[in-house]
Chain A
Amino acid sequence: MTRRIELGLLYSRSGSYSLISEACRSGALAAIAMVNADPALGLTFVPVERDPGGNVDLYGPLCEEILRDTAARHVVGCVTSWSRKEVIPTVEKFGGTLWYAVPYEGFEASDHVVYTHACPNQHLLPLLDWAMPAHGQRAWLTGSNYIWGWEMNRLARERITAAGGQVLGERYLPIGSREVGRMIEEIRFARPDFILNNLIGPSSYEFLAAFRRLGQDDPQFAPDRCPVLSCNLTECELPALGEAAEGLVSAGPYFRGTAGWPGPGNFGSSHEAAAFAAVRELARLLAQRPGAEDLPLRRLLAEDTRPGGPGGGIVDRDTHHTVLPAIIARVEGGAFRPLRQIAPMAGDPYLTRSRNQPQAPLLRVVS
């Protein structure tokens, strides 16, 4: 008999980061369709959707509505870290689980969250390790005024100064602000070697358009001389950027057409891929386990003892993060072209597992 299992979806279909929400949502819906068409799994997911409309104060109450008023114990959703942190107390209170499919700033390993996109050891650190030798060590940091930008830039500053580099400036804009003029002027005078962009939505689009105009006026700021780097830019936002996207460099676990993504699939972006992976993994964990849909995450993972279970699953039992490759790619002709591909590595949210590991020695031929 096929089990009907309600599954919460909590994505904002309007507001400043709706392109990312829509990419995640379509990945989740594609996985739900695939699960529902697979008789071997013996279950169908029934989506229960709530739309916070980009209002951070609606995430907690709407998540509570899903967990209180329906049978759903699992919610796929949230884009900003701010909204995720709003939702965690609710999933904890109801014994539910949030599946979070967006790159984030790390320093979290909730007992009630699965993180299926990259954290800094999988995006920011490989990106800086590529950028500093390639372009120089004088950085400009920017971001939207909330935890993603603050924490990403703190980590970048630590990494850059430890490498002997310099941070020439650090500027924040309120979410949704388009006031980029002053920052562009400051960058024009500071003349950094690269820019780390942690702005989101319209602020980011406005900044990138203005920076492109600056690069057209002054070749010092052309993309090949002074690139703009991001850890959350994927194909899903390219339509909003148009020509201004050319030359942008991004780090992520997947870009359209690249290899290395764990599991099959041909996705529009890594946001789509990570949400798809979340739903597929949940279906795998629930298949042939009647009643498992009501278990708290810890037991759902711990009691997964079937073949393909521990080790066959994608969720690390200690950190609830996943193993992902790191790909550094540049936008060329409207698509991402990989510049460097790093083998899959475990998510290390507190940077306690990988930072101490000695770098692989550079072997030199001695003759």
Chain B
Amino acid sequence: MIRRPIRIPNLGGARALILHRPHPTVQALSRQLTAIGLEVATAWPELGPEGLAADYVFFDADMGHDGMFPWPPGAPPVPMIALIGSEAPGRIEWSLRAGAHAQLLKPVGDNGAYSALLVARDAFDAQHALSAEISDLRRRLDERQTLVRAVTLLAARGKSETEAYAQLRQMAMAWRISLEDAAARIVASRDGGKDGDDRRDRG
């Protein structure tokens, strides 16, 4: 896979939420984030719906549990940074399952927040790009049968299999849709709409 160039996010005015009990670590982290230019809010013991408006979430890995986030376990809609005090395997395992994209070790001092923000943003973006690519590939795998049926239908007019396949490719290009979507259209029209209605969204 070709590595994407890292995108330096514009952090000016971005909202960071720190999910941690009141503690000098929260003060030190807030100072760093404010200096960088983010707006900082804190929450404890749970992140309310305001968590959904955050751009970055820092959460306590020591005292954390699944119920503290307003989203399903492991499916955060924003980059997440674990604040790790005790480097115990169980806690690290939990913070990874919670969806941590980066971590900061406690006590937080004079630095570390900026690199955590950039690493978390990059990991989050990479994860999303990969998920989107995987679900697209998965869908196309599922369409293999449709592809075979479309080629067979086209070949039934006396064409060779190779010619039928080439024709399908040209149709896809002319319609500006994927090969799989073109195959679905052909199958749908030949089936007289039998299983075509649910495929209109494919173009």
Contacts and interface: CB of A to CB of B under 8 A. Distances in A.
Contact of B110 (A88, A107, A319, A353): A88
A355 to B, nearest CB: 6
A111 B11 contact: no
Interface in B1-53: 8, 10-13, 28, 31-32, 34-38
Contacts of A353: 12, 37
Interface of A: 88, 92, 107, 109-112, 158, 298, 318-320, 348-353, 355-356
A349 B31 CA distance: 14
Q: Is the interface of B mostly helix, strand, loop or mixed?
A: loop
Interface of B: 8, 10-13, 28, 31-32, 34-38, 109-111, 114
Given A318-B35, A353-B37, A111 B12 contact: no
Nearest to A107: B114
Contacts of A109: 32, 35-36
Contacts of B34: 318
B36 A350 contact: yes
Nearest to A91: B110
Contact of B10 (A110, A348, A355): A355
B108 to A, nearest CB: 11
Contacts of B114: 107, 350
B111 A110 contact: yes
Contacts of B110: 88, 92, 110-112
Contacts of A298: 31
A288 to B, nearest CB: 27
B35 A355 contact: no
A356 B10 contact: yes
Contacts of B8: 158
Contacts of B38: 352
Contacts of B37: 348, 350, 352-353
A92 B28 CA distance: 13
Given A92-B109, A109-B36, A350-B114, A356 B12 contact: yes
Nearest to B14: A352
Contact of B35 (A158, A319, A351): A319
Contacts of A92: 109-110
A352 B31 contact: no
A298 B34 CA distance: 14
A338 B25 CA distance: 47
Nearest to A348: B37
B11 to A, nearest CB: 5
A308 to B, nearest CB: 24
Contacts of A351: 12
A104 to B, nearest CB: 15
